Amino acid sequence: MTVESSARTLVLLTAAITPKAAGPVAVVDPKVRLSQYRSALESWIRDTPPEVHLVILETTGCFTDELRESIPIDARERVVVTVIPASPEAERRGKGSAEFEVVERYLSGLRGKYQTIYKVTGRLALEDAARLVVPLRDEEVRARAALDRSYVDTRLVGAGRSAWQFLLEDMVADIDDMRGVYVEHVLAARIATGLALRQISMSRFPWKPVFLGVSGTTGGIYGGNKFRRLIAVPQRYVESKLAALAQRKQV
């Protein structure tokens, strides 16, 4: 099944119910992960208008029937579960590499169907999603970045079709978690290059996105306005390497 409509905005919810890519994973039980993806998807269906289409990009091929069955019948015209396995090389390079390789492969087959595409970590919902997921210009990128533009929060990134083409070209080859070159760094570098070459433009979200759900890396719980906290958990090596960047003021 494929999404077919005149809708111009697409949200890609990336998922790995049984993760295989290199890197730390706090939640490994596939049934627990499936439940978390279902919960996030329920929120996205409820909190976005019918003209916004949702595609769950699952990379492992496990429990996808169960995920499909959780989609309400009246939402199945705009919500699709698609399985695209990441390559062994992308998985070796880390979770971000596997995730963005699959995003690139999926978008390469859309043939201009959507004007605006948002990539979202699929286990997370977004407070005020309908007000944050809005149409963008063809060359526009919308993301949160460190003030020095060395780090981009890849949990939520939106862009027009042409901007995505520029950002994703050969991007995966530069990501290598074992060398400390994470997807957040590589995407930041691509955006900086695009801005310097005037190939893309960049805009801010109108306010800081508030995520709802569980971090797959740390197990921390994100909360909204009534529960704004991230539960402290033992930090994995990725967080220790990224902490200094992640804590910088972002724009």
pLDDT band at 27 (very low <50, low <70, confident <90, very high): confident
More reliable by pLDDT, 225 or 182: 182
Mean predicted confidence (pLDDT) in 49-61 = 94
- 99-153 per-position pLDDT tens digit: 999 999 999 998 778 999 999 999 999 999 999 999 999 999 999 999 888 999 9
In a domain, 3, yes or no: no
pLDDT at 244: 46
In a domain, 144, yes or no: yes
In a domain, 2, yes or no: no
In a domain, 4, yes or no: no
What residue type is assigned to position 249 of the chain? K
In a domain, 68, yes or no: yes
- The least confident of 5-9, 81-85, 135-139 is 5-9
More reliable by pLDDT, 157 or 224: 157
In a domain, 140, yes or no: yes
Judge whether residue 234 has pLDDT over 80. no
Q: Where are the extended beta strands (E) located within the chain?
A: 9-15, 52-58, 79-83, 116-121, 124-126, 140-142, 156-160, 201-203, 211-214, 221-222
Judge whether residue 55 has pLDDT over 60. yes
Contact (CB, 8 A) for 41 and 147:
no
pLDDT at 216: 73
pLDDT at 147: 86
Provide the number of structural domains found in the chain: 1
What residue has token string 């909190």?
47
Mean predicted confidence (pLDDT) in 93-99 = 93
pLDDT band at 31 (very low <50, low <70, confident <90, very high): very high
Mean model confidence pLDDT for the chain: 86
Collect all residues with Cβ–Cβ distance below 8 Å to 208 and sequence separation of at least 6.
Answer: 144, 250
In a domain, 158, yes or no: yes
Q: Which domain holds residue 54?
A: 9-246
| Domain CATH for 65 | 3.90.550
pLDDT at 7: 59
- The least confident of 23-32, 143-152, 199-208, 231-240 is 231-240
Q: How far apart are the first and last CA of the chain?
A: 38
What residue has token string 């950002």?
167
In a domain, 1, yes or no: no
